[in-house]
Structure 1
Amino acid sequence: MAQSSETLSMLKFPVLIGDIGGTNARFALLVDSYAEPREFPIVQTADFANIDEAIQASILDRTSIMPRSAVLAVAGPIDGDEVELTNCDWVVRPLQMQRTLGLEDIVLLNDFEAQALAVVALGEEHMVKIGAGEAEATAGRVVLGPGTGLGVAGLIHAGRTWIPVPGEGGHMDMGPRTPRDFEVFPHIERIEGRISGEQLLCGRGLVNVYRAIAKADGTEATFTTPAEITTAGLAGSDPTAVETLEMFVTCLGRIAGDLALVFMSRGGVYLTGGIAQKIVEALKHPRFRAAFEDKAPHSALMKAIPIYVITHPLAALTGLAAYARTPARFGVETRGRRWTAA
C-alpha cells in the first residue's frame, strides 16, 4: 500500500522524473539537488507494453546512473496500487516497479499537477503572453492544455507554499452557444450521450470538430489527423479546417474563462502542450480573448486576468525537478501517492 504523507526531502538521489501522457512519455534523471536534469529521448507509449519496460529499455539500459527514487506524473486519477492512464493502455503499479526496477521510493502525481508546478518553476522567457492583464504574484492560477486529452489543474498559494490542485476538469460539459454551434454540435461525436470539453479540445477533438463541420455543410472531410487540420487552418488553405481552428480557439477560450472563474485566477491562466504551442498565432486572434472575457457579469474581472502559452518543450519535467529539489516550496500531499520500500 502507498505510505502516508511524509516529507519529500527523504527521497534519495539520483531521482528518476517522468511525465507520462496518453501518447508520449518523457523521462530525465536528477543526479542531485544541484544538477540539471539529464534528459532522454521521448518514448512513444504504444511502443511498450508497460511503463516498467519503457523505463528499462529507454533509461536504465542507456546509463550507468541507477535511480534510487522516482517522481512520476501520470495522465489519470491516482487511486490505489494500480493506476490506469486515461488515454493509454499502461497501468502503473508502483509496488511492482519497486521490485523490477530496484526503486526504493516512488511518488505519483497527476500529469497536470506537474504542469502546475512548472508554472512557478519556469521564467517568462518560456512563455508567450496573449492579450492584456497583469499577474498578481501570489494569486490563484489555472493550467490547462489540449493534447491527447484535455488536462486541467489549479495552483493556489497558501502558507508560503504553492499548492497544486489536480482534477479532471477537461471532462466538464461543453454545449452550443451561437447559431453556428447549434448547426455543428449535433454532428459531434458524444461519449455516453454527452459532449465534454475533451471531445472538442484535444487532438481527436480537432478531428471531431472538423468532421462535424463537414457534415453540417454536406462537404467531404479530407483530413484525418490533427496536424493536417491545424496546418491547413493556420495556412488558410482549407475553409473547413479554418473554421475548425476558429471554433477550437473559441471553445478553448470559453472553458479557460470558466476555469479562471472557478479558481479566481488573478495570477493568470497558462496554456501548455504541443497543440497550444503550435497554434499561438491563432490564439493571438481577438476571438480567443473575447470568448475568455465573455463572462457577464464578470467581464471586467476577466479582462484583468493574463493568459500565457508555455513554450518550454519539457515543462512538466521542469516542474517535477523543482519539486524534487525543494519540496518545501510546494504543498503537495503524498498520502496515498507514495510507495516506500520496507
Structure 2
Amino acid sequence: MSLPTDDDITAGLAFPILIGDIGGTNARFGLIADAGSEPHLFPIVPTGGYKSIEEALLTGVLPKDRPRPRSAIIAVAGPIKGDEIPLTNAGWVIRPKDMIAALDLAEVIVINDFEAQALAVADLSEANRAKIGGGEALTDHSCVVLGPGTGLGVAGLVHARQTWFPVPGEGGHVDLGPRTPRDLAIWPHLEVIEGRISGEQILCGRGLLNLYRAICAADGKPSLYADPAEVTQAALAHADPAAEETLRLFATYLGRVAGDMAMVFMARGGVFLAGGIAQKILPALQGPDFRAAFEDKAPHSALLKSIPSFVVTHPAAALSGLSAYARAPERFGLTTEGRCWRP
C-alpha cells in the first residue's frame, strides 16, 4: 500500500465515489457518480447488524444493478491512527486495506465524523438550519460544530486563504463541572469515568439518561424510564417533572460547552448543533436555557451574544459534507496524511 500526499488527493478521487458516515449506532452511505452529480443515498444500516463495514456494504448496501465505487471517503466516530481504526462507541474496526481488497477500490480516505459535519457547514443553506437566539453569522469566519449523539462530537471549521480547514478533535471529553446549587445537588449522583465528569458523560444519549437518574436520586424519587427516548418524550409532552428538568438542564449544559467552544475557535461564523438528538429536542433548545448558558461567559458575554447558534436540520449532513469535498477537494484544506490508502 502506498500513502499519497495531500497534493495527490487534491487532484481528485476516482469516480464513482462511495461516501460513508459511520456512527456509534448507525451507518449511512451514498454513491457519487461524477463531479456534477448529487449523491445517491442508500438506506441506513445498523452497525450492530453486520460484523464489518465490508459485510455491510457487500450484503446490505451496494445494489447489484449500480456501478461499483472506484474510491471511498469514510467518516468514523473516533480518532484515526494506523491501519486499524476502532470506533469509539461501536464494535466495528475499520481496516482500509480490507476495504480496498473487498471492493476493488483505487483509494480509501478515512476522516473523523465531525470533520465531515464541519465540511457540511461550509455550504449549509438556511433551509437546512434552525436558528437559536440572536447574533449574526459573519461570512468566511470560523465555525464550530457540536453533536450530542451516541457520544459528543466536536470539530472546528477555520477559514483562511480562501480555503476551509476542518479541525477534528475530542472536544466532547472536556471536563464539565457544577456551577449552581442545583448542580451541586445533582453532581454526586452522576455516573463518572475514572473520577470525573466529561461533557460526553451528560451530553449524549446515555448521558441524558445519566442526568435523569441523577435528578431522581437527588430528589429521592424512583426513575421511571430506562431509555433516553422515553425521557425526551416525557419531557416534551410535559408528562414528568424530572424528565422536564432533565431536558432543561441538558440544554443548559450543552449551552455551556457550546459557548466554550465558540470562544476556543472564535466562531463568528456560527455554532452548529448537529446530529439526531439536537433535531429531536429542538423545541427545548429554542427555549431560554441553551442560549442563556451559551452567553453567560463574563467578561465576554457581549462577544457570545454576537455569535449565532443553529441546529442543523439536514437529514444527512455528514454525507453532504463528504460529497462537497469529494466533488471539489481544492476548496478544503483537509489533511489526508496517514489517512489515505491505495493499493
**How high is the TM-score relative to the length of structure 1?**
0.98
> Which amino acid counterpart does residue 42 of structure 1 have in structure 2?
I
Maintained 8 Å contact 1:13/1:31 = yes
Counterpart Cα distance in 1 of 2:15 and 2:73: 11
> Which amino acid counterpart does residue 311 of structure 2 have in structure 1?
V
Hey, which bits of structure 1, 4+ residues long, moved more than 4 A? none
The structural deviation recorded for 1:275 is 0.6
Tell me what 1:89 maps to.
Answer: 91
> Which amino acid counterpart does residue 319 of structure 1 have in structure 2?
G
The structural deviation recorded for 1:10 is 3.3
Tell me what 2:319 maps to.
Answer: 317
Long gaps (5+) in structure 1: none
Tell me what 2:25 maps to.
Answer: 23
The structural deviation recorded for 1:179 is 0.3
Counterpart Cα distance in 2 of 1:126 and 1:87: 27
Superposition pairs of residues 195-214 of structure 1, within 5 angstroms:
195-214=197-216
The structural deviation recorded for 1:61 is 4.3
Counterpart Cα distance in 2 of 1:53 and 1:272: 28
Tell me what 2:257 maps to.
Answer: 255
Long gaps (5+) in structure 2: none
CA deviation map 1:217-250 (0-9, x unaligned): 1111111111111111111110110010011000
SS of 1:198 mapped into structure 2:
helix
CA deviation map 1:14-55 (0-9, x unaligned): 000000000010000001111111111001000011111111
Maintained 8 Å contact 1:112/1:151 = yes
Maintained 8 Å contact 2:144/2:262 = yes
Tell me what 1:237 maps to.
Answer: 239
Counterpart Cα distance in 2 of 1:216 and 1:119: 39
Tell me what 2:150 maps to.
Answer: 148
Aligned residue pair count: 341
SS of 2:14 mapped into structure 1:
coil
> Which amino acid counterpart does residue 316 of structure 1 have in structure 2?
A
> Which amino acid counterpart does residue 5 of structure 2 have in structure 1?
S
Tell me what 1:57 maps to.
Answer: 59
Tell me what 2:286 maps to.
Answer: 284
Task: Say what the alpha-carbon RMSD is for the aligned residues.
Answer: 1.0
Tell me what 1:333 maps to.
Answer: 335
Counterpart Cα distance in 2 of 1:331 and 1:226: 37
Counterpart Cα distance in 2 of 1:27 and 1:145: 19
**How high is the TM-score relative to the length of structure 2?**
0.98
Tell me what 1:182 maps to.
Answer: 184
CA deviation map 1:94-124 (0-9, x unaligned): 0111111111100111000000000012211
Tell me what 1:4 maps to.
Answer: 5
Maintained 8 Å contact 1:201/1:252 = yes
Deviates more, 1:92-101 or 1:55-64: 55-64
CA deviation map 1:119-165 (0-9, x unaligned): 01221110100011000101110000100000000000011110000
Maintained 8 Å contact 1:40/1:58 = no
SS of 1:7 mapped into structure 2:
helix
Counterpart Cα distance in 1 of 2:189 and 2:98: 44
The structural deviation recorded for 1:8 is 3.3
Residue 106 in 1 paired to residue 108 in 2? yes
Tell me what 2:194 maps to.
Answer: 192
The structural deviation recorded for 1:9 is 3.0
SS of 2:155 mapped into structure 1:
strand
Name the % identity. 61
